Amino acid sequence: MPAPTYRKLSVIVPIFNERNTVVEIMRRMRAVELPIEREFVLVDDGSSDGTPQVLAQLGDSTVRVVKHTANQGKGAAIRTGLEHVTGDLVLIQDADLEYDPEDWPKLLAPMFRGKATVVYGSRFTGERRNMLFLHWMGNRVLSLVTNVLYNTTLSDMETCYKLFDRRVLEGITIRSDRFDFEPEITAKILRKGVRIYEVPISYTGREFHEGKKITWRDGFAALVALVKFRFVR
């Protein structure tokens, strides 16, 4: 069976109060050399720190900026982004510089070879600036619960780097507004019978004083979501 021919990569960037990093993440995303057309869908999720003014300076023919009038959460921003993508591949990219677009070719390679339709970048199999112990433990527990409930062997369910063949997303409705987007999309992909391919990525985690937003409450919500989406249709 021949490998699929992909023509465009759509990158959804959910943004909330990232004035200090959004210009640099745009520079890095534009700098990556790829054998495929790309578009950027920047979703400003009600930022109040001057981010909208910065985004207004970043537009070109490959960039679409979409705005929420109030903060709704990462899941809501991605849901909005999905309404505007036009590519046949869809990638999630945070704006906070924890994830490096230089890893995009690693994510895309299994797709181009026809070996996968969903690829996750794992922070636990590549080089990284070590995260806080509680974040590490929380991520490991959530991945373990995912594996037990959905009969898989993921090492990093909570990773930002999720790459999809857009056709896989057909028929999937995302209802989560916050960080529980990660378990919801993972659960619904696995329940469709799609196996997720993992590749190692680099990771440079932020501290809370640097703007990190996810907390233990989001981890608990993710755990509840994993159970809910396993047993509730």
Q: Say what the pLDDT of residue 136 is.
A: 66
Q: Say what the pLDDT of residue 4 is.
A: 77
As a residue count, the chain comes to 233
Q: Say what the pLDDT of residue 211 is.
A: 46
**Max avg pLDDT among 15-19, 139-143, 148-152, 211-215:** 15-19
Compute the distance between CA of residue 159 and CA of residue 65 in angstroms, rounded to an integer: 24
The pLDDT mean for the chain works out to 89
Residue 89 pLDDT more than 90?
yes
* Helices 133-150 + 216-231 axis angle, to 10: 0
Structure tokens at 143: 């991945």
Structure tokens at 34: 């790829």
* Helices 181-191 + 74-82 axis angle, to 10: 50
pLDDT tens across 201-232, in order? 999 875 544 445 566 576 778 888 888 888 77
pLDDT tens across 24-47, in order? 999 999 999 999 999 999 999 999
pTM: 0.88
pLDDT tens across 92-146, in order? 999 999 999 999 999 999 999 999 999 999 998 866 655 666 666 777 888 888 8
Q: Which residues partner with 9 through β-bridges?
A: 38, 89
Tell me the percentage of the chain whose pLDDT exceeds 70: 88
Least confident piece of the model among 49-63, 70-84, 186-200, 201-215: 201-215
The band of 79, judged by pLDDT with boundaries at 50, 70 and 90, is very high
CA-nearest of 175, 180, 183, 191 to 156 is 183
Q: Say what the pLDDT of residue 223 is.
A: 82
CA-nearest of 108, 85, 104, 100 to 10 is 85
Spell out the domain ranges in the chain. 8-231
8-231: CATH, from 3.90.550.10, 3.30.1540.20, 3.40.50.2300, 1.20.1250.20: 3.90.550.10
Q: Say what the pLDDT of residue 227 is.
A: 82
User: What residues contact 196, with CB distance under 8 A and at least 6 apart?
Assistant: 116, 118, 119, 120, 152, 154, 186, 189, 190
Q: What angle do CA 179, 166, 232 make, to 5 degrees?
A: 50
